[in-house]
Amino acid sequence: MQQNLQQKKGLVENVFNKVFDKYDLMNDLMSLGIHRIWKKELIYMMNPSIGQNLVDVACGTGDIAKLFNEATNNKSNIFCVDPNSKMLSEGRKKLKSLKNIKFIKGNAEKLFFPNNTFDFYTIVFGLRNTKNISKSISEAYRVLKKGGRFLCLEFSKVENSNLNFFYKNYSKLIPIFGQMIVGDKKPYEYLVNSIDEFINQKQLIEIMKKNNFTNCVYKNLNGGVVAIHSGWKI
């Protein structure tokens, strides 16, 4: 088991080392730009207030931090956590004018924050890449304040058979885009496989409940291509 976890860690790190400088462009291509709408829907569901703080785990280049900052009028403390140094560097460059956003190297399974620190915890297109989903969600619970909220935006299971047929076939094109833009299709073969192998909506709800979150719900977007999961620390 430990060897498998280390292999996954190394594989994920290698994937993002190869794509970090084309990460935003590839997100636009892979989702036809729809990922931006999904992320705005996440912020809409959060409905944050000025002064509330956020930890965004598996932050990539900081899209969620930027949207959260806009929603709170530059008056919140935001911590972006990612295990990949190159991805963090891209995020710092992109958001260098926003001094209330801090980028920190770290893993979802072991966050370097005290208990009961944050109003919101988000993880966007990152949970399926963690070594241990349950441990990651347990850490989310730990660092959230009482009354804090966990939100996960992740690829999920399409519930309509016709849409699923189209989606599966479109997914086969993603490694081709990767070869064209990044010059390597293997990272995107991994990403497509990781989406296909990820748990379904109800299974994720059960893991959230087992880690003490309450009022756990999910909302499908685009027929379940992605889903937003939400839970509270009460």
pLDDT at 15: 62
- Phi, psi (degrees; rounded to nearest 5) at 55: -115, 125
Class of domain 2-232: alpha beta
Rounded average pLDDT over 207-232: 97
Which residue, among 118, 154, 141, 126, has the nearest Cα to 229 in the 3D structure?
A: 154
Q: What is the pLDDT of residues 35-59, one digit of tens each?
A: 999 999 999 999 999 999 999 999 9
Whether the predicted pLDDT of 177 surpasses 90: no
The confidence score (pLDDT) of residue 166 equals 87
Query: Per-residue confidence at 20, pLDDT binned at 50, 70, 90?
Result: low
Q: Is the pLDDT of residue 138 over 80?
A: yes
pLDDT at 64 over 60: yes
Q: Which helix (H) or strand (E) holds 74?
A: none
Q: What are 54's two structure tokens? A: 């956020």
- How much is the average pLDDT of 22-45? 84
- For position 6, what pLDDT does the model report? 42
Q: CA 169: distance to chain centroid?
A: 24
Contact 82, 105 (CB under 8 A): yes
Radius of gyration of the chain (CA): 17
pLDDT of residue 145: 98
pLDDT recorded at residue 167 = 86
pLDDT for 105 equals: 97
- Where is pLDDT greater, at 142 or 181? 142
Taking CA atoms, 111 is separated from 201, 213, 219, in Å, by 25, 18, 27
Distance separating alpha carbons of residues 214 and 208, to the nearest angstrom: 8
201 alpha-carbon distance from chain centroid: 15
For all residues of the chain together, what is the average pLDDT?
Answer: 89
Low-confidence winner among 92-106, 169-183, 209-223 (lowest mean pLDDT)? 169-183
The pair phi, psi for residue 132, each rounded to 5°, is: -145, 105
Q: Please tell me the distance from the alpha carbon of residue 125 to that of residue 92, in angstroms, as a whole number.
A: 19
CB contact set of 211 (below 8 Å; sequence gap of 6+): 134, 137, 138, 140, 141
Q: What is the mean pLDDT of residues 140-144?
A: 98
- Alpha helices, H only, 144-222: 161-171, 174-181, 186-197, 201-210
